[in-house]
Amino acid sequence: MTEGTSPHAVGGRTRGDLGRRITQRRTELGLSRQETAARAGMAPAYLQYLEERPTADPGAGTLLRLAGALRTTVWHLTGGDTELPAGLGRAARTPRFTELTEAECRALLASHGVGRLAVPADSGPLVVPVNYQVVDGAVVFRTGPGTTPAEADGHQVAFEVDRIDEAFSEGWSVLVRGPASTVTDPDEAARLDEQAYSTPWAGGPRELWLRIEPVAVTGRRITV
């Protein structure tokens, strides 16, 4: 959860959100603080203040310049779309749809994050989000016994990750298909614990590791 409960005049964000969103977005674009400040027409020291001070409350003009510099919208930058599904914007006027190579797919997949796991069930397929990472070419994630992700053990599953840029109606998706199995070797599980990027966002004891061995890896990208 975010810090504080005081609403912002633009977009209804809570205090402390803006700095994290600025930092995250410029990191996604590979921009330094100095480059971002130059694009937005502000001093790097002021951008540092915005990123590091939860009480920072810039005006609408500053937010517009930042959104332009970061190729996004004020709405997204201030957290106005936090509770909404991605892809609400309009399609671009001249989109380009391309198939990704397997190497491109694996490179995007290896960035780790949150993906969607499709698990077969008696009542029909179930799709749940999981925190994952890629180790030795396989998709691995943690869960707990008796959970929906744990039902993937011993089944052929599908796993999907994507990234959508609302401001420019661009994005990509990668789909992995292959068998899922529980990691039963204690040494292997310990190695995965050491290499884990973060703990599952859902919290609680989730010490069961599962591995998906990719049999097919495909992907698509939409650019303008």
Q: pLDDT: is 18 or 174 the higher one?
A: 174
- Whether 179 and 107 map to the same domain: the answer is yes
- Whether 161 and 196 map to the same domain: the answer is yes
Given this model, what pLDDT does residue 82 score?
67
- Whether 100 and 23 map to the same domain: the answer is no
How confident is the model over 192-215, as pLDDT tens digits?
Answer: 988 887 778 788 888 899 999 999
CATH for 146: 2.30.110.10
**Is pLDDT at 13 greater than 60 in this prediction?**
no
- Whether 123 and 162 map to the same domain: the answer is yes
Given this model, what pLDDT does residue 89 score?
67
Q: pLDDT: is 140 or 14 the higher one?
A: 140
DSSP 8-state code for residue 207: -
- Whether 34 and 143 map to the same domain: the answer is no
84 domain-assigned: no
Which of 50, 77, 104 marks a domain boundary?
77
Q: What span, in angstroms and rounded, lies between the C-alpha atoms of 129 and 110?
A: 17
Reported residue count of the chain is: 224
Angle at 177 between CA 176 and CA 179, to 5 degrees: 130
- Whether 30 and 65 map to the same domain: the answer is yes
- Whether 195 and 106 map to the same domain: the answer is yes
- Whether 114 and 36 map to the same domain: the answer is no
Given this model, what pLDDT does residue 84 score?
62
* pTM listed for this prediction: 0.68
- Whether 139 and 33 map to the same domain: the answer is no
Which of 49, 77, 105 marks a domain boundary?
77
Instruction: Give 183's Cβ-side CA count (13 Å radius).
Output: 23
Structural domains of the chain, count: 2
How confident is the model over 33-54, as pLDDT tens digits?
Answer: 999 999 999 999 999 999 998 8
What range does the domain containing 136 cover? 96-223
**Is pLDDT at 10 greater than 60 in this prediction?**
no
**Is pLDDT at 8 greater than 70 in this prediction?**
no
Q: pLDDT: is 196 or 65 the higher one?
A: 65
On whether the CB atoms of residues 103 and 218 are closer than 8 A, the answer is no
> Quick one: what percent of the chain has pLDDT higher than 70?
88
As a whole number, mean pLDDT of residues 4-13 equals: 38
